[in-house]
Structure 1
Amino acid sequence: MFTEVKYKVILKGMTSTTEKDILHGISGSASPGEVLALMGPSGCGKTTLLSILGGRINGNIIEGTITYNDEPYNKSLKRRIGFVTQDDVLFAHLTVRETLTYAALLRLPQTMSKQQKEERAMDVIYELGLERCQDTMIGGSFVRGISGGERKRVCIGNEIIINPSLLLLDEPTSGLDSTTALRIVQVLHDIAEAGKTVLTTIHQPSSRLFLKFDKLILLGKGSLLYFGKASEAMAYFQSIGCSPLIAMNPAEFLLDLANGNTNDISIPSELDDRVQTENLGSDTRNEKPTPKDVHEYLVEAYETRVANKEKKKLLAPLPISQDLKATVSSPKREWGASWWQQYSILFWRGLKERRHDYLSWMRITQVIATAFILGLLWWHSGSANPEGQQDQAGLLFFIAVFWGFFPVFTAIFTFPQERAMLKKERAVDMYKLSSYFMARTTSDLPLDLFLPVIFLLIVYFMAGLRQSIKPFFLTMLTVFLSIIAAQGLGLAIGATLMDIKKATTLASVTVMTFMLAGGFFVKGVPLFISWIRYISFNYHTYRLLLKVQYNHVPPSINVSNLDNGAKEVAALIAMIFGYRLLAYVSLRRMQL
């Protein structure tokens, strides 16, 4: 139940700060077994109201009362409220069954076994009619997958898997054809008939869809124009003098009214008299009511004829499902899985989702082709003379740069691309941010370290570097350290900026600077800028690779102060943890 809900936003200008009202005292209610539709033109406040009712927006800019079984909202209600966003936020490379199974493992209570959670996921698949596509990838912009209607049902399945008492949906039929949209609404009715309460925003439903809603809230410019049974909406507006002059879809008629468009709609005599009186003595005496006039008339009519009666009904106690009542009475916050379980589930989910990108034929071909080109250019290069030594130093520096550049520009996309998913899943307390961060940063490692092994197996022996086991494995270990450090830099840049274009620009400048300060191009770096080399992973990686190849670095390479390599290893390890700590702090500050 919600009464007199008001919402405003603060607009900060160059010289002053103003407040803009979005919702003007909206009241309504919904009971178990009912489907309540929020209708109105674009920008009228439907999604804002739905977000407020779902606890997605809070703060001092909200006024009014919102209760769930006569109790205010608290964080423990998150596990009893399902919220389906308008955008289908799903992982493209996971199948339908994998998507719902991971949701079940993370969201269902710890008292359930893994097998019970997996069975619940299958129950939802059959409940939503997804059994035919359960082993098909979700798909996306570049991946062929399931249809739009099936994607929407998967999104609904992600929420009903917890058997919510209250299900909220933001335009679930958007972009779907009428037949598919009707099936989605029928699914919502089936959910409601099971004793659940369903609230959904909808833009312009067909007449068949409209007749399936139990209750209706019609909004116009943030004001309440009608609240009551959907089947009685037409009769109400006819009672205040607004009737369609031609055969019209009821939803189309209501949206025309909410927009203030009176074409093909009769004008109430009271409104017409008011307009004529206001225009008396002017040249626009026969002018039709403006949209503003229509809006004011509809708001006034609702306030005088319906509002008080509906508010009295709201004061009467509403039946609420007992599981919601039990949840409200136990405000303790609970997680569906322990920290370690969250980490394990997210680790394997991340591995399955990203293996297709990391191990794509394009990426594998790129790495193998580069390796063969390097092997041919440095074919059996020798270190017996200064020229050969300088050539090998150039190869080692390129390896340091290549496996510093590659991971950075892969990792910067990590958090910006998953921001919507992270925000959606964190909003319902699916997992802790720390478990997600650890799983996300470690699930990449097996994939990140696969291609360098292939790369080094080709380059190392074709180029004629030290032909023994120890130098080879030390070279591989050095490259691994470089990759993990570079990946940490990419994660930190991406998490700090959360904008792919800005992150790519900053990463380009940073990587170029680290490369130039890496000790190969410029030996005598001025003192006032020489500190850059010490924060460059290219610099430390290059020195370690030289140390591995030459017990005593030849004078022709001109690298000084290279001892046992402990300082370089320590510097790379510090970068590995330091950059990741910065990335985590940045995510935490964003309150995701």
Structure 2
Amino acid sequence: MGHSGAGKTTLLDIIACNISGGVVEGDVRVNGEPVRANKFQKYSCYVLQRDVLLATATVYEALMTSALLRLPLSMPRQQKQARVQLILDELDLNAAANTMIGDDSKGIKGISGGERRRVSVGIGVVTDPSIIFLDEPTSGLDSETAVQLINCLVMLARKHRTVVCTIHQPNSDITDNFDDLLLLARGRCAYFGPWDHSIDYFKSLGYACPMYKNPSDYYMSITHDPEVSEQLADIFTKASKAASLLGDAEEGKCRASINGTNAAATILAWRHSASLPQAASNAHHLLDDDVVLPTVTECSTSMSRGLDCRPACLPTPLSCYQIWVLSVRFTRSWIRDPILLASMAGQYAFAGIFIGLMYLQIGKERNAGVFDWQASLWLILAVLAFTPCETACTLWDAERLLLRRETTSGAYGVGAFFIAKTLATRPFEVLVTTFFGILTYFMIGYQLNFWKLAIFLVIINLFQLILETLGLLCAIVTKTSTLAIIVASATLLVLLSFNGFLISTTPEYFEWIPKSPTCHLRTLRCTSITPSPVDNGHTVKWNIGILVVILFAMRFPCYAFLKIAHKIRFL
């Protein structure tokens, strides 16, 4: 517990091996043993302050998906379903089991804030972890909902689990459930021990909690003063060291001398030290009593029992199975998102009708010029460039957060996510692109030939997939969708400007751009008497093959950058 900026989340991140950036000194130990991050994270779960959940999934589906992704393939599905049902019972989520989680910004009505927080906890505990870390779980909840959540956490803790959470300023109904308290003041420890003994401890230092005042409110008020918080941290540091020495001496663990000085003399000198802050003089007698300043072992007995009672690390399912589970989730999410479906279908329908009306049946007009044909093709490519590119940038914001949370918790790897996203989203993208292509093809009046229509549809679908990959790449290498759209738009502006339609002669300093492997038009020389098709020595099959090569050549760096972004925690 502590003020904003006291270091609560930073400390929790370090303990949970979830730190990124900065320099961490010292080490983290559990039951006296150094912690290995990859192994420790399999025994623990971390619930973020912000609920990162899939809005289109129901509560049961969210928990079941977590179970399918993280529990071993050898475990029968009925057993996984039974575990999910147990979590629903423990967290009091049965009433909302078949309700979508929801998101107001997407127009999807869903569950309440308290239920969302409990779903986040349920997703984490599906593997039955020994330790549960929560970053301000009551943040943003009303008092009654916060108490209900804490009661659920208490029930989890009583089943041989260690629950460690940060909290800002809880009410008395919440603090009554605490076992131990670590009070942080400006990055330092002002108290660490049983919650029930904290009142006596601060009273002995001259900071007696007034009657009828919530102790947590009082602790926050006294640590708000920089001078007082420094004094409290100094007192606790010296007192805890002395208590540790005294405990070792009484148990016979202390060596005969410490740096050439007798241990008992060291403790006695500390007790009568004039350099100790005056408030600490009232705390001297507390060092003889194990009620105040308990050792870390006493505070961690529940952790020891929890780790001893937990099973060994469960093996995760094969990647191919995770790809299948994620593909089903992606498909279900697309189908259930009305705004996403309407926006994508609406964009292509509007653009197709608009272009079709602009160049309505120019194929039947004898006076239709080559420029009109080129313009119609260029507009089609422009729509297929900007629309999927910007859509990919926008969707990545929500997907990024979900990917970061689930990969950090070890639910699956980046490769499984990337392949599943590719497999699940392609059918719908091909469907809307084909609809757009057929609409424009017949409205404009291109040649009524089945094979030429098929070639046209294949080419625009490949082009659409390439530009969607470009948008995803821009989104991965940037932090926000706004910046990603700016980068993508600038890139598309350059690529589309030098395709031979907007400008006939390229300036010398830009000649290298049209030579890049992008879609561009050839110079057309024709007469009005005889047909003059473009012949550059490349067949249609060769051009389609080049588009396929470009597509795969862009997907590979896209995956590579995603892998790097995950490794350096840039997601």
Whole-Å separation in 2 of the counterparts to 1:326 and 1:80: 12
CA distance in 1, matches of 2:91, 2:28: 31
* SS at 2:128 equivalent: coil
Worse-matched range after superposition: 124-133 or 212-221: 124-133
The CA distance in 2 between the partners of 1:487 and 1:368, in whole Å, is 18
The match for 1:190 is 155
Give yes or no for the alignment of 1:493 onto 2:474: yes
The residue type equivalent to 2:443 in the other structure is M
Q: Determine the C-alpha separation between the residues in 2 that align with 1:48 and 1:114.
A: 38
Q: Deviations 1:500-530 (Å, cap 9, x if unpaired)?
A: 2222111111111111112222233346534
Of Structure 1 and Structure 2, the greater strand share is in 1
Q: Which residue of the partner structure matches residue 17 of structure 2?
A: 55
2: CA distance between counterparts of 1:393 and 1:67?
Answer: 69
CA distance in 2, matches of 1:60, 1:514: 39
Distance 1:532 1:358 in 2: 37
Q: Determine whether 1:575 maps to 2:550.
A: yes
- Pick aligned residue for 1:309 from 230, 239, 243: 243
3-state secondary structure, aligned to 1:382: helix
**How far is the alpha carbon of 1:310 from its aligned partner?**
5.9
Q: Does 1:400 align with 2:375?
A: no
1:208-245 Cα distance to aligned partner (Å, 9 max, x none): 11111011111111111111111111111111111234
- Equivalent residues of 2:147, 2:173 under 8 A apart: yes
1:131 aligns with: 94
1:300 to 212, 227, 234: 234
Residue 115 in 1 paired to residue 101 in 2? no
Once the two structures are TM-superposed, the CA of residue 246 in structure 1 deviates from its matched residue by: 5.8
The reply on whether 1:82 has 2:42 as its aligned counterpart is no
Output the amino acid matched with 2:539.
N
Find the residue that maps to 1:137 and give its secondary structure.
coil
Partner in structure 2 of residue 278 of structure 1 = none
**Does residue 66 of the first structure (1) align with residue 33 of the second (2)?**
no
1:69–1:324 contact (8 Å) kept in structure 2: no
Higher mean C-alpha deviation, range 133-142 or range 303-312:
303-312
Residue 162 of structure 2 contacts residue 302 of structure 2 at CA under 8 Å; is this kept in 1?
no
State how 1:123-272 maps to structure 2 within 5 Å.
123-142=86-105, 143=107, 144-245=109-210, 247-260=212-225
User: Could you tell me the TM-score, scaled by structure 1's length?
Assistant: 0.79
Quick check: 1:459 aligned with 2:440? yes
Where does residue 403 of structure 2 map in the other structure? Answer: 422
What do residues 426-465 of structure 1 show as CA deviations (whole Å, max 9, x unaligned)? 2121111111112123322112112122222322222221
2: distance between equivalents of 1:384 and 1:564?
A: 28
Secondary structure at the counterpart of residue 226 of structure 1: strand
| Equivalence for 1:34 | none
Q: In structure 1, what is the Cα distance between the partners aligned to 2:113 and 2:186? A: 30
Structure 2 CA distance, aligned partners of 1:145 and 1:473? 43
For 1:415 and 1:578, locate their aligned partners in 2 and report how far apart those are by CA, in whole Å: 21
Q: Match for 2:43: what amino acid?
A: R
Secondary structure of 1:62's partner?
coil
Q: Does structure 1 retain, via aligned residues, the 8 Å contact 2:364–2:445?
A: no
2:334 is matched by which residue type in structure 1?
Answer: R
Count how many residue pairs are aligned between Structure 1 and Structure 2. 509
Letter in 2 for 1:46: K
Once structures 1 and 2 are overlaid, which stretch shifts more, 171-180 or 371-380?
A: 371-380
Partner of 2:334: 354
Distance change (3 Å), C-alpha of 1:89 and 1:225? same
Change (3 A) 1:296 1:227: same
CA distance in 1, matches of 2:2, 2:530: 75
Distance 1:588 1:513, change over 3 A: same
Corresponding residue of 1:345: 325
Letter paired with 2:6: C
CA contact (8 A) 2:130 2:310 kept: no
For residues 519-566 of structure 1, give each alpha carbon's deviation from its aligned partner in whole angstroms, at most 9, with x where no partner exists. Answer: 222233346534423546442xx67xx9xxxxx9955x9x56263134
2:499 corresponding residue in structure 1: 518
User: For structure 2, which runs of at least 5 residues remain unmatched after alignment?
Assistant: 248-294
CA drift of 1:414 comes to 4.3
Cα 1:119/1:246, change in 2 over 3 Å: closer
Q: Quick one: distance in 1 between partners of 2:441 and 2:373?
A: 11
Amino acid at match of 2:498: A
TM-align CA RMSD: 2.8
- 8 Å contact kept, 2:323–2:417: yes
CA contact (8 A) 1:96 1:137 kept: yes
- C-alpha distance in 2 between matches for 1:255 and 1:322: 32
Q: Could you tell me how far 1:306 is from its partner in structure 2? A: 4.4
What is the letter of the counterpart of residue 413 of structure 1? T
Please state how far the C-alpha of 1:71 moved relative to its aligned partner. Answer: 2.3
**Partner in structure 1 of residue 254 of structure 2:** none
Cα distance in 2 for partners of 1:413, 1:553 equals 48
Deviation for aligned residue 1:163: 0.6
Deviation at 1:388, TM superposition (A): 4.5
Provide closer, same or farther for how the CA distance between residues 530 and 444 of structure 1 changes in structure 2, counting only shifts above 3 A.
farther
TM superposition shift of 1:483: 0.7
| 2:4 is the alignment partner of 1:45 | no
DSSP-derived class of the 1:431 partner: coil
SS where residue 28 of structure 2 aligns?
A: strand
Once residues 177 and 319 of structure 1 are traced to their aligned partners in structure 2, the CA distance between those partners, rounded to angstroms, is 29
Residues 203 and 554 (structure 1), Cα distance of their counterparts in 2 relative to 1, 3 Å cut: farther
Give the Cα separation in 1 of the matches to 2:82 and 2:537: 60
Change in Cα spacing, 1:479 to 1:65, as seen in structure 2 (3 Å) is closer
Letter of the 1:300 partner, please give it. D
CA distance in 2, matches of 1:213, 1:315: 17
1:385 Cα deviation (Å)?
Answer: 4.1
2:392 and 2:472 in contact (8 A); partners too: yes
Q: Which moved more, 1:469-478 or 1:244-253?
A: 244-253
In structure 2, C-alpha distance between the alignment counterparts of 1:379 and 1:58, rounded to whole Å = 57
What SS class does the counterpart of residue 502 from structure 1 fall into? helix
> Residues of 2 paired with 1:314 and 1:232: CA distance?
15
State the identity %. 30
Q: Which residue of 1 aligns with 2:362?
A: 381
Q: Unaligned 5+ residue runs, structure 1? A: 1-38, 261-290, 547-551
Residues 76, 334 of structure 1: 8 Å contact kept: no
Which of 366, 370, 385 is the aligned partner of 2:347? Answer: 366
Distance 1:231 1:175 in 2: 26
Structure 1 residues 375 and 58: alpha-carbon distance in aligned structure 2, compared to 1, 3 A threshold: closer
Task: Rate the CA distance shift 1:127–1:493 in 2: closer, same or farther, 3 A.
Answer: same
Inter-partner Cα distance in structure 2 for 1:81 and 1:238: 36
C-alpha spacing 1:514/1:257, structure 2 compared with 1 (3 Å): same
User: Residues 378 and 59 (structure 1 numbering): CA distance in 2 closer, same or farther, change over 3 Å?
Assistant: closer
Tell me the distance in 1 between the aligned counterparts of 2:409 and 2:222.
36
Q: Which of 566-575 and 512-521 deviates more? A: 566-575
2:434–2:461 Cα contact (<8 Å) kept:
no
